[in-house]
Amino acid sequence: MSALAAPPAGATAPKPSPSRRRPGSGIRRGEGAAGWLFTLPVILILAVFLLVPVLMALWVSFSDWNGRGSPLSSGVHFVGLQNYAATTTGGGLAERNFGLALRNNAWYVVFVVPLQTALSLFLAVLVSRQVLRGRGFFRTAYYFPSVTSSVAITVLWLFLFSASGVVNAIIAWFGGNGPNWFSDPRGLWAVVAGWFGMTTPPAWLTQGDFLGVSPWEWIQGPSIAMSAFILMAVFTTSGTFMLVFMAAIQNIDPALAEAGMIDGANGWQRFWRITLPQLRPALFTVLTLGLIGCWQVFDAIYTGTQGDPGKTTLTPAYLSYQASFNDNQWGIGAAIAFILFVIIIVFTLFQRWVLRDRPVSQRRIRAYQPKAARQNGATR
């Protein structure tokens, strides 16, 4: 949760240096060396456990290393972009697997990120209310799934969503007939289309493909199995993010809300016009962490379905593991990992751009002005 401590924009503005003395002279002489000395242990640890492995993985993604001995030994050759090409073009199984993994994970992100953000914000607002009795209990209860091991939660989920499990029993109470969650490869939208009598896709949707996956497969949404994982992710992560929002809400000056009340704003308006705008840094943190976490989903897949049914829960992170350890295609596994890295960076930058600080537009300003002022503005 170190991201909580992220300074607000503008805090990094250069300050005038107190002393303009030349370095290496006077009382500050040798301070640079001492600084390096003190940071050396961390630099060493980061280099050995972070930088070197990343660089080695990058090298593997450009090499024909076959998993035996060191990737840096003489028998390993540079093969250029061959591994990346096999993953993204070529029409082979590697390309289709990667396409399916991207499809599954993209739908996972589309559902999980907004849902978990909205739910965690909602919970944070609820448990931050002064009037709520037993706030401590609710905070703990909502936070509990986040501190439970994800393997344990996955196993619990496998039980809850089994064909004759609790969830289907509850659906049966309401007269419904629950699906066989973790072995149902049908896409959500395909199921909905089926309700309206569309059982086979129109021909134009099965023509052509992107990354070996046809348009129909791209748009049919997360499978029923993946939907269960989506619910699980929302359930487990919203407690963590609730904490982020709670901290941010407590930082808001109550005087602002009081000022709003004096101006006659009701609770709904105060939330949208006073609280939410001030939560922007927290929102950015939650969206970024959520996005990164969603694109890296691995543990639930590994313990749960291992990509089944019908490869609809395959994710790039799991595919990278599978390609490396089970299929001995280490180059392709590393290449997938780096493509995933680029995807995450691009999405984070995009979201940073969307949430950037903008000057308030005329249209938005009007909503904050009292009626009289608005009329004045119009006649001016």
Partner 1 sequence: MTRHTARVATGAGAIAVVAALALTGCGSGFSSDNSSKGASDLTSSNKPLTVMIGSSGDAETKAVTDAVDAWSKKSGVKASVIAATDLQQQLSQGFAAGSPPDLFYQSSDQLAAFAGNGSLKAYGDDLKNKSDFYPSLVKTFTYDGKFYCAPKDFSTLQLVINTDLWQKAGLTDDDVPSTWDQLAADAKKLTSGKTKGLVFNGEYARLGVFMAQAGGRLVSEDGKTAEANSDANVTALNYVKQHLNDGTFAFAKDVGAGWGGEALGKQLGAMTIEGNWITGAMSADYPDVKYKVVQLPAGPSARGTLQFTNCWGMAADSPNQKAALDLVEYLTTSDQQLAFSKAFGPMPSVESAASTWKSDNAALVPFLTGVAYAQSVPTNAGASDVVNDFNSQLATLKTSDPKTILDSVQKNLEAVVK
Smaller CB separation from partner 1, 182 or 338? 182
156 binds partner 1 (CB under 8 A): no
308 binds partner 1 (CB under 8 A): yes
Size of residue set near partner 1 by CB under 8 A: 40
User: Which range touches partner 1 (CB under 8 A), out of 65-73, 121-129, 259-267, 366-374?
Assistant: 65-73
Smaller CB separation from partner 1, 299 or 327? 327
Smaller CB separation from partner 1, 68 or 366? 68
Which of 55, 156, 166, 346 touches partner 1 by CB under 8 A? Answer: 55
Which of 4, 6, 44, 346 touches partner 1 by CB under 8 A? Answer: 44
Contacts (CB under 8 A) with partner 1, residues 224-253: none
Residue 279 backbone dihedrals phi, psi, to 5 degrees: -90, 5
Contacts (CB under 8 A) with partner 1, residues 328-367: 328
> Are the CB atoms for 109 and 117 separated by under 8 Å?
no
Angle between helices 280-295 and 330-354 (to 10 degrees): 160
Which of 1, 30, 68, 169 touches partner 1 by CB under 8 A? Answer: 68
> Are the CB atoms for 339 and 87 separated by under 8 Å?
yes
Which of 1, 72, 155, 360 touches partner 1 by CB under 8 A? Answer: 72
Q: What is the DSSP letter of 377?
A: H
Per-residue CA distances from 93 to 97, 103, 141, 363 (Å): 6, 15, 45, 52
Contacts (CB under 8 A) with partner 1, residues 84-113: 92-93, 96-97
Looking up tokens 């593991």 gives 321
70 binds partner 1 (CB under 8 A): yes
Could you tell me the smallest distance in angstroms from the CB atom of residue 176 to partner 1? 16
66 binds partner 1 (CB under 8 A): yes
CA distance 345 to 228: 27
CA distance 157 to 148: 13
Number of residues that this document lists for the chain: 380
Which of 9, 51, 172, 365 touches partner 1 by CB under 8 A? Answer: 51
Could you tell me the smallest distance in angstroms from the CB atom of residue 313 to partner 1? 11
> Are the CB atoms for 292 and 347 separated by under 8 Å?
no
Contacts (CB under 8 A) with partner 1, residues 167-186: 180, 183, 185
CA distance 155 to 173: 24
309 binds partner 1 (CB under 8 A): yes
Per-residue CA distances from 113 to 124, 137, 194, 272, 313 (Å): 16, 26, 27, 20, 17
CA distance 309 to 317: 17
> Are the CB atoms for 95 and 86 separated by under 8 Å?
yes
40 binds partner 1 (CB under 8 A): yes
311 binds partner 1 (CB under 8 A): yes
CA distance 107 to 294: 10
Smaller CB separation from partner 1, 250 or 306? 306
Distance of CA 161 to the CA centre of its chain: 24
Instruction: List residues bridging with 6 in a β-sheet.
Output: none
Smaller CB separation from partner 1, 185 or 215? 185
CA distance 293 to 300: 12
118 binds partner 1 (CB under 8 A): no
Smaller CB separation from partner 1, 180 or 348? 180
Binding residues for partner 1 (CB under 8 A): 23-24, 32, 36, 40, 43-44, 47-48, 51-52, 55, 66-70, 72-73, 75, 92-93, 96-97, 162-164, 180, 183, 185, 307-311, 324-328
